[in-house]
């Protein structure tokens, strides 16, 4: 073979290969299958996945190769054979096809012939390839082996007799999820894939093993036996339970949402989907879904008495409440996952009614610096290229699972990760340094010499500020300290928006010209508009919220007619969730993304923008003259929020860091973040959903005379909760950690808590 390159005009890091007679340029070190895929030349495979390491154990991708006129003595696996200059590859000659057909015959030796009852039927890679490479009759007459199934939890169903040991699921849990929960047990013909200990999968990304499985061994337990793939219609939508805005498809049958699957977008979620986004659609069909307009007729008991009404009646009642309580007497509170279209109309509604009391930052306690959501300074797809990452006040794995996965990718490339916060949250990567401090000390820890020394000399530093910091009573000081730290070290500041569309709502004017969310509740108004909010669980200070709302007239645009909504509302107007809505959301990168209405609306529920338009018509307000969604969108104008940016305003030292008792640290429970997720039964059964409890440092528990499993009264100035005690050295001394989103913890406010035996 000549030492001269076949094509001297190629870059020095590329070589020339010929696949089925097609001349291609391929990077040195890449594999044959990479070059073939780029050129659109099909090569069958099972174990290969472009997001996972190469295993080369299924051998389905065997091809014939030739170098310098000499053919290789045996077929080569395309996924594990690197390209070289002048390499000739034959994917369809007699030698390659014979090898591929022989491999298929071996794969089918033990595979059960249960395609008619297999939930993967119709979208099974083995089924598809066996049509082209399989024999019509098997030459093997031995008894097929049977593998016992194990329960992998409420999300993933198993039929491990179908497994072909491709190890995609094993590599996913090890390399992407980072939990190392699946593996191969025994050897040879006895090899089995499983968890070994028989426990459910605990990764927050477990549903992705369904997508990577090429056969029906791992399937969607929630979707199982409910529909066949060819019965389904796919609609583009978005995940709206965190600010990433994962791209997904909703699969429908007769208008009912059957399942969600990832939609590839390398800049956002790659080809993955968090379990929260994959299974939350179950909540669409909860028993307390709002399906008809409701009017309160009496206030007997907590819920009052209600009757169903026509839309005309409900809108007339809502309009009368707003007429009677306009201007400064009215407060408008908006859920931070509300779409841009609905948010813009709510801003017009507030302006038309003469009120500046409008806000979407309902879960944030400290807005003294006028902070609003801002786009990440570094796109999320580039975070994996960082060499130093500082995570501030965030249970990142639960808060934004696929952002956590990007940080893990950075770690595997050699990045150092440092953590500052009140709890040593569980990550799937090693932590270079930890500063476990009370929430009131986070800002000071960011200015420490230790942390400054740890990041010094790094070329690409990223600071990620999460919900524990953003939603706490010391948020303004932490934001200022994070901005100062980023400026001092040339770091990219990435504050996670607190809500799926917090950034979009800020850009479309859903911000106060007068009172913010906290002030509206601390200084009660005579009437409120609630949009997409579950009043008993979504506010930062539930006690203040329920007190203020309980003494006012309330118009609730709601997805659910839940107990807390019935308790405070006078009118309930049923509206669509994002899965049933044509809408636009703005994700944490500042990227506008569109979702399309998928599921059919239940009962008489309507898309929110149509209800707002009808209500404005009842009120005779200007700015609602459009007749369709296109007309509405044509009038949308994003703007820069007029409130001061985080870190611009001087911030007074928070007083909650002093006093008696323990300091309260609050994080979001992963499967209690909003009304839809709370009603998804499969997610509520997931092992990560640990339920309401208070976690204490062992020294603090000992001082209070408490042990693991004991019941304790946890009291703040806002209220008292009775919670089970859990002990962990992962909690900073002097802190009590609870998760929000539970009714049992909703009574607690912020600041200092007293913990004593119940």
pLDDT beyond 60 at 651: no
The domain locations on the chain are 14-107, 294-367+502-634, 380-495, 656-757
pLDDT in tens, 526-554: 999 999 999 999 999 998 999 999 999 99
Q: What are the beta bridge partners of residue 22?
A: 19
Measured from the Cβ of residue 517, the count of other Cβ atoms closer than 10 Å reads 26
User: Residue 3's pLDDT band (boundaries 50, 70, 90)?
Assistant: low
Q: Give the least confident one: 69-73, 394-398, 545-549.
A: 69-73
Q: Are 63 and 43 in contact (CB under 8 A)?
A: yes
Total residues found in the chain within this entry: 758
Considering the chain, what is the average pLDDT of its residues?
92
Q: Would you list the DSSP string of 522-578?
A: HS--SEEEEES--TTTSSSSHHHHHHHHHTSEEEEEESB--HHHHHH-SEEEEB--G
Nearest to 751 by CA among 419, 394, 438, 435: 438
At the fourth CATH level, the homologous superfamily of domain 380-495 is: Dimethylsulfoxide Reductase, domain 2 (3.40.228.10)
User: Residue 278's pLDDT band (boundaries 50, 70, 90)?
Assistant: very high
Mean pLDDT of 236-247: 96
Give the architecture (CATH level 2) of 14-107: Roll (3.10)
Count of CA atoms in the C-beta half-sphere (13 A) of 308: 6
pLDDT in tens, 21-62: 999 999 999 999 999 999 999 999 999 999 999 999 999 999
Q: Would you list the DSSP string of 8-40?
A: TTS-TTEEEEEETTEEEEEETT-BHHHHHHHHT
Q: How large a percentage of the chain has pLDDT more than 70?
A: 96
Residue 225 or residue 657, greater confidence? 225
Mean pLDDT of 449-459: 92
Q: How large a percentage of the chain has pLDDT more than 90?
A: 86
Mean pLDDT of 549-561: 96
Q: What is the pLDDT of residue 198?
A: 85
User: Residue 197's pLDDT band (boundaries 50, 70, 90)?
Assistant: confident
Mean pLDDT of 720-741: 94
Phi first, then psi, for residue 216 (nearest 5°) are -95, 25
Q: What is the pLDDT of residue 658?
A: 54
Cα-only R_g, the chain = 28
Q: What is the CATH number of domain 294-367+502-634?
A: 3.40.50.740
Nearest to 561 by CA among 540, 583, 533, 541: 533
Q: What is the pLDDT of residue 719?
A: 85
Mean pLDDT of 549-569: 95
Q: What is the pLDDT of residue 93?
A: 94
Mean pLDDT of 440-450: 94
Q: What is the pLDDT of residue 636?
A: 87
Give the architecture (CATH level 2) of 656-757: Beta Barrel (2.40)
């Amino acid at each position: 073979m000549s030492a001269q390159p076949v094509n001297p005009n190629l870059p020095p890091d590329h070589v020339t290969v010929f696949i089925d007679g097609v001349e291609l340029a391929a990077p040195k070190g890449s594999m044959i299958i990479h070059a073939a895929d780029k050129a659109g030349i099909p090569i069958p495979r099972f174990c290969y996945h472009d997001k996972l390491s190469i295993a080369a154990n299924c051998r389905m991708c065997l091809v014939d190769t030739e170098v310098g006129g000499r053919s290789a003595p045996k077929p080569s696996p395309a996924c594990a054979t690197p390209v070289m200059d002048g390499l000739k590859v034959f994917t369809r000659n007699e030698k390659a096809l014979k090898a591929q057909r022989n491999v298929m015959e071996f794969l089918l030796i033990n595979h059960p012939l249960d395609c008619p009852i297999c939930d993967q039927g119709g979208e099974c890679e083995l089924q598809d390839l066996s049509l082209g490479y399989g024999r019509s009759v098997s030459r093997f007459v031995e008894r097929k082996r049977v593998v016992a199934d194990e329960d992998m939890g409420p999300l993933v169903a198993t039929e491990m007799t179908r497994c072909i040991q491709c190890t995609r699921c094993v590599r996913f849990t090890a390399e992407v999820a980072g939990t190392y929960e699946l593996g191969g047990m025994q050897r040879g013909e006895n090899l089995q894939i499983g968890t070994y200990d028989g426990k459910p999968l605990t990764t927050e990304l477990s549903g992705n093993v369904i997508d990577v499985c090429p056969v029906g061994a791992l399937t969607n337990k929630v979707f199982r036996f409910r529909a066949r793939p060819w019965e389904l219609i796919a609609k583009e939508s978005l995940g709206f339970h965190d600010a990433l805005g994962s791209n997904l498809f909703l699969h429908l049958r007769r208008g009912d949402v059957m399942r969600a699957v990832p939609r590839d977008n390398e800049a956002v979620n790659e080809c993955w989907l968090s379990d929260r986004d994959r299974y939350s659609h179950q909540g669409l069909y909860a028993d307390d879904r709002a399906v008809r307009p409701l009017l309160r007729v009496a206030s007997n008991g907590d819920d009052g008495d209600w009757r169903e009404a026509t839309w005309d009646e409900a809108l007339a009642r809502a309009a009368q409440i707003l007429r009677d309580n306009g201007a400064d007497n009215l407060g408008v509170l908006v859920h931070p996952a509300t779409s841009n279209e609905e948010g813009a109309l709510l801003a017009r509604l507030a302006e038309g009614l003469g009120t500046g009391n409008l806000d979407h930052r309902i879960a944030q306690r400290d807005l003294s610096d006028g902070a609003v959501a801002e786009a990440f300074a570094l796109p999320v797809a580039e975070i994996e290229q960082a060499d130093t990452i500082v995570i501030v006040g965030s249970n990142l794995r639960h808060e934004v699972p696929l952002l956590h996965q990007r940080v893990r990718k950075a770690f595997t490339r050699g990045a150092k990760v440092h953590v500052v916060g009140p709890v040593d949250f569980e990550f799937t990567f090693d932590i270079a340094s930890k500063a476990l401090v009370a929430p009131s000390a986070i800002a000071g820890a960011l200015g420490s010499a230790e942390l400054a020394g740890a990041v010094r000399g790094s070329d690409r530093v990223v600071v990620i500020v999460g919900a524990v910091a953003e939603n706490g009573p010391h948020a303004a000081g932490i934001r200022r300290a994070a901005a100062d730290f980023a400026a001092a070290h040339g770091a990219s500041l990435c504050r996670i928006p607190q809500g799926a569309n917090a950034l979009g709502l800020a850009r479309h004017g859903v911000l106060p010209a007068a009172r913010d969310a906290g002030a509206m509740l601390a200084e009660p108004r005579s009437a409120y508009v609630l949009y997409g909010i579950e009043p008993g669980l979504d506010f930062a200070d539930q006690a203040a919220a329920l007190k203020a709302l309980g003494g006012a007239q309330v118009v609730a645009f709601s997805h659910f007619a839940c107990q807390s909504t019935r308790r405070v509302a006078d009118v309930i107007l049923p509206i669509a969730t994002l899965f049933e809505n044509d809408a636009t959301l703005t994700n944490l990168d500042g990227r506008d993304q569109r979702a399309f209405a998928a599921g059919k609306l239940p009962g008489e529920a309507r898309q929110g923008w149509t209800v707002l338009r009808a209500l404005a018509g009842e009120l005779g307000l200007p700015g609602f003259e459009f007749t369709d969604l296109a007309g509405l969108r044509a009038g949308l104008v994003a703007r820069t929020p007029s409130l001061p940016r985080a870190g611009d305003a001087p911030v007074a030292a928070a007083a909650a860091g002093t006093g008696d008792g323990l300091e309260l640290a609050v994080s979001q429970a992963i499967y209690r973040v909003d009304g839809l997720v709370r009603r998804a039964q499969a997610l509520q059964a997931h092992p990560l959903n640990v339920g309401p409890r208070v976690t204490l440092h062992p020294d603090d528990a000992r001082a209070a005379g408490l042990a693991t499993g004991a019941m304790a009264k946890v009291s703040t100035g806002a209220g008292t909760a009775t919670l089970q005690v859990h002990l962990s050295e992962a909690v900073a001394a002097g802190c009590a950690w609870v998760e929000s989103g539970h009714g049992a913890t909703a009574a607690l406010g912020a600041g200092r808590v007293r913990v004593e035996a119940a």
